[in-house]
Amino acid sequence: MKTHVSSLLSKNYKLLSVAAILDVFETVNKNYRNDKLPEPFEIKILAVEDFAEQQKEAFGYQLQELSKAEPMDLILIPAFTTDDMEQTIKENVQCIPNIVKQYQQGAGIATFCTGAFLLGASGLLNGKIATTHVDASNGFANSFPQVKLKVDKTVTQDGRLYTSGGATSSFHLLLHLIQEFCGKEMAIKIAKIFAIDMDRDKQSYFSTFMPSRNHNDDLVAIAQDKIEANFHDAATIEELIKDIPASRRNIVRRFKQITGITPIEYLQQTRI
């Protein structure tokens, strides 16, 4: 019996993200055909009603309306290409009830890179672990504080909810899914075909840390200066902020409010 897998064509989807998803699942099916075995996946592409009516097909597949889709086994939400995530989520808000419905009917939901924002907006991730692109993590944490964000993870799974970090981390989630549905031998074969390092589980190396300086809090600015000037030599954050004329609690509170992360996290990111 085939596993019903659907990629969601959201508004502002990232072309390369969808292409990678389809390429991996199609390659798995091809390997099974070459071995004279039944294909394990039935692949579909879902879209919201107006998108499906306008475009009809994409990537060689007939578009199906998300609201009318049969119960799926796995729904894949690709990354977004956008500079305004809040607006992008608003434009895709009509997807959310149907994503929740599919999940309630037993589907697994997997998001790639910034696709996690749409799943976060659904509320399904509340109280569960997740990851996203490392450079989008502060925005995600601020938007969805009830999600247990694991910034450094390339892949997370919490029950039937899966997320990946940015860029090539998407392939690690795809391998994770292939291993879950087809076994480790096929996952290794796909890893070799796509030249994927199966052992990488952290994405901090790919962070482009760009701390905010666009604020008027002098106390936070002093703390930032001390961290950035002395991060090589200081063993603890207490050493760096001990001369700032404020309590540690007050510094931490204001620092996180302005930058989105704690002084300790800021020190760690600066070191990276």
**Torsional class of 108: left (φ above 0), alpha (ψ -120 to 50), beta (otherwise):** beta
Which one, of 205, 241, 242, lies nearest residue 224 by Cα?
241
**Per-residue pLDDT at 206:** 43
Return d(Cα 16, Cα 28) in angstroms, integer.
18
In this prediction, the residues of the chain whose per-residue pLDDT falls under 50 are 204-206
Residue 29 has what pLDDT? 98
Q: Express each pLDDT in 85-142 by its tens digit.
A: 999 999 999 999 999 999 999 999 999 999 999 999 999 999 999 999 989 999 999 9
Class of the 3-205 domain? Answer: alpha beta
Question: Do residues 235 and 270 touch, judged by C-beta distance below 8 A?
Answer: no
Could you tell me the residue ranges of all domains in the chain?
Answer: 3-205, 218-271
What is the reported pTM?
0.75
On whether the CB atoms of residues 173 and 156 are closer than 8 A, the answer is no
Q: What is the pLDDT of residue 207?
A: 52
Ranges assigned E (strand) in the chain: 3-9, 41-47, 57-58, 61-65, 74-77, 108-111, 129-130, 148-149, 155-158, 161-164
Note the pLDDT of residue 240.
82
Task: Determine the pLDDT at residue 259.
Answer: 82
Cβ within 8 Å of residue 119, ≥6 positions away: 77, 99, 109, 111, 125, 130, 161, 163
Q: Which of 163, 213, 173 is nearest to 21 (CA)?
A: 173
What is the Cα–Cα distance from 231 to 251, expressed in whole angstroms?
17
